[in-house]
Structure 1
């Protein structure tokens, strides 16, 4: 298939790889799944950085872009138009959601906008591909799941490592006991890549609708080292490397442990922060998350002794996985062929293609909204534990924490007139 375009005529071929997974693919595609052009039509909210990467992945399907930065929006629209598609430009995504011909929305905004954009898109009858981390708070995640289910929407979290074969192989080996009984998982994260020494506040540039960029976040003066990619280093908008890379590697840990619908029950750890307070999020950390079965996941940031990625440790040996790489301390393990009786995990044809195939089939994608919410929740709990310097007890069934201060960090108020709903 050229790029990621899917039509009713192309669907069965495009989703062949998905058919080999644990979900069932119907033999027909309902007409209601597509726009007037006989293909899935996408609109894109946030088109800088990762947003442009996602636009490239859906370029054959794109019909509209939205960004609070007019320069970025214009560049994205030109990219779509250069591929031969018409492309309308928006600053307010709510206007884009009014279009009846758009079937799916791709959200690549800063984290503090993920929840509202996803919920509004679901309520407008659109399916959603939303970047990781799925949320800024735990409360947002549950609301997003509820919106997806109530409106019968397909929502894919942009945790694309789930669609790469090396991560699936590692998790299948772990889930089927090939490294023995799991007792520890190591997750290695990089140090903060913050933008350096602060600069003075200033007026926002003419091309940026700064009030809309803030959206539900607290009102603050414009500062160029807080916006665009730099949002990652401030609690108002994100959670640092814990929610950036942690959302990837902790997600794989959850997958390998079979905890996609659950999480740890106890979280404790320590962190270091910038001595001059150039940014707010952690520079380094070590967090231990304990699951009800006794397995411990140890998440470290900036620790050279822990390899980046995810390392599963069992009583027979270890398997380590990162992007494009997998290794094991057990000779020949990686050549293991799964038995017919073994657990087989979802086989994705590619993260963008999987989303489009599921929009057509109406099945849940490989990183459904519930999965994205649960993985992000672990990240938020880890940050809360290190910020407060407390051991937290978490109930993954009721999604409640035993500490009032931690509960406040897991659910934040929105700036008027924005409301979470």
Structure 2
């Protein structure tokens, strides 16, 4: 609003581009937002959690819609994304959120209790750290980090500040995945020998490669790059496609591995640990349109002797389960390849994926989990679990430690693929034991951005 009138689209973009919209909205309007919100929700001021959203394109809009009743502020370096987010909040709640192009200005608003971060991966950790330091709780998309070192630092900051951080690996709040993990952890498959993990392949654009160009006027490209190295703008490096370039992400290993390798970790009881040896290989795009592998195979060995085999695109049953191919096909509806996880135990197999849970023999799936059995953390809704934990100050289902450890497994897989060497990892000290390879756990930030020292 401006002088009591709604901003036109042109006025909105001009204000955001000058960096004035967020400041004006943030300073002048929070009490209006809160009063309207209290009236609309019927909640006491102390019970209503006011959330700001950092990154509102793609999955950011999904998170915004899931938490839209709590939305009081939005932030994005792309003015089109920002405008769409403002409209979405207005339509759903009848109130206009504060709008910012710089997340640091959003964090200065003391009326905001928590933030939801849905930026590209290279922009996850710095806003999360700054939010914790500003006294705000955090929901941050997976993968939690771009590097292993970022995870260590973020974990230390979260613990020191006492903030609640939820990682967006929402499969942990799905009852099928919880059921699968409880069957595995309670020995219904017998001793686990292997976990087979299939990840989605690269979903690259069908467009022909495009040359570098000037960034579009609605995008603050320098801020979008942030701590990443300077590169000329190319529309196939930003927004969704950022995930296939090493400067910003880790390909499908971190994109989908942060889901399915996370479930492997959960099922093996390794939330506070990880593998001890990693081997990998990969194949790359012959046209060099993007940097991350089009296909890869990674083998993780845990100290217990359990092996995790991770493949992309998908995992082939006959390659990984030649002795149990018939049984595997039964639980996969006769498919040759799969995504998700297959736990292989002495007594049988368990397949878990979104919308699918099956076992061989079938009877395993019917076995009950009793009062004296191990029960894992139960969350029925990932976003609501975060809000509940903000109120109770309990740890959420995908706390910073869980998100960091699962992201670490993904990063170690990428390091093995990229280096072509065997990675020996100490999950207790979180160190690569080969000094030559140890440098892969971190990467420098582009000035003036800095990762804090802890």
Shared fold (TM-score, shorter chain, > 0.5) = yes
Structure 1 runs of 4+ with >3 Å offset: 34-38
Residue 37 of structure 1: CA displacement? 6.7
CA distance in 1 between partners of 2:179 and 2:47 (Å): 36
Given candidates 277, 290, 295, the residue that maps to 1:284 is 295
Q: CA deviation at 1:167?
A: 0.3
Q: Does 1:241 align with 2:272?
A: no
Measure the CA separation in 2 of the matches of 1:403 and 1:220.
31
Measure, in 1, the Cα distance between the counterparts of 2:197 and 2:128: 28
Which residue does 1:164 correspond to in 2?
174
> What is aligned with 1:126?
136
Q: How far apart are the structure 1 equivalents of 2:355 and 2:82?
A: 32
Question: How far did residue 209 of structure 1 move?
Answer: 0.3
Shift of 1:168: 0.4
Paired residues, what number? 392
Distance 1:95 1:222 in 2: 25
Give the aligned CA root-mean-square deviation in angstroms. 1.7
Matched, 1:49 2:80: no
**Structure 1 residue 350: deviation in Å?**
0.2
Following superposition, the deviation at residue 330 of structure 1 comes to 1.7
User: Following the alignment from structure 1 to structure 2, what is the Cα–Cα distance between the partners of residues 198 and 411?
Assistant: 30
**TM-score after normalising by structure 1:** 0.91
Per-residue CA deviation, residues 361-410 of structure 1 (Å, 9 max, x unaligned), is 00000000110000000000000001111011000111110234432222
Within a 5 Å distance, the mapping from 1:5-154 to structure 2 comes to 36=45, 38-82=47-91, 83-154=93-164
**Matches of 2:437 and 2:294 in 1, distance apart?**
20
**Equivalents in 1 of 2:311, 2:440: separation in Å?**
21
TM-score normalised by length of structure 2: 0.84
Partner in structure 2 of residue 16 of structure 1 = none
Cα contact 1:168–1:345 (8 A) shared by 2: yes
- Counterpart of 1:302 in structure 2 is 313
Local SS of the residue matching 1:44? strand
Give the conservation status (yes or no) of the 8 Å contact 1:157–1:367. Answer: yes
Secondary structure of the corresponding residue to residue 217 of structure 2: coil
> In the superposition, relative to structure 1, how do residues 353 and 274 fare at CA in structure 2: closer, same or farther (>3 Å)?
same
Task: Identify which of 341, 349, 374 aligns with 1:343.
Answer: 374
Give a deviation string over 1:286-334, Cα, whole Å, max 9, x none: 1100000000000000145141001111000010100011000122222
Structure 1 residue 36, shift from structure 2 partner: 4.5
Deviation at 1:192, TM superposition (A): 1.0
Structure 1 residue matching 2:69: 3-state secondary structure: coil
Shift of 1:198: 2.3
Corresponding residue SS for 1:267: strand
Of 205, 212, 226, the residue aligned with 2:223 is 212
- Indicate the SS of the match to 1:282: coil
Q: SS where residue 60 of structure 1 aligns? A: helix
Q: Note if 1:412 corresponds to 2:443.
A: yes
Q: State the secondary structure of the residue aligned to 2:145.
A: coil
Higher Cα radius of gyration: 2
Q: Following TM superposition, by how much is the alpha carbon of 1:199 offset from its aligned partner in structure 2, in angstroms?
A: 1.0
State whether residues 284 and 303 of structure 1, in contact with CA within 8 Å, keep that contact through their aligned partners in structure 2: no
User: 1:240-279 maps to which residues of 2 (within 5 A)?
Assistant: 240-279=251-290
Deviations 1:49-75 (A, max 9, x none): 100000001100000000000011011
Match of 1:355 in 2: 386
* Contact 1:35–1:103 (Cα < 8 Å) also in 2: no
State how far apart, in whole Å, the 2-side matches of 1:393 and 1:43 are.
41
Distance, in Å, in 2 between the alignment partners of 1:117 and 1:270 is: 33
More helix per residue: 1 or 2? Answer: 2
Distance, in Å, in 2 between the alignment partners of 1:36 and 1:250 is: 40
- Report the counterpart of residue 368 of structure 1 in structure 2: 399
Alpha carbons 2:215, 2:233 under 8 Å: kept: yes
> Is the Cα–Cα contact under 8 Å of residues 35 and 41 in structure 1 kept in the other structure?
no
1:379 to 410, 419, 425: 410
Q: What is the rounded CA distance, in whole Å, between the counterparts of 1:404 and 1:280 in structure 2? A: 25
Q: CA deviation at 1:105?
A: 0.4
Q: Is the 8 A contact 1:274 1:282 kept in 2?
A: yes
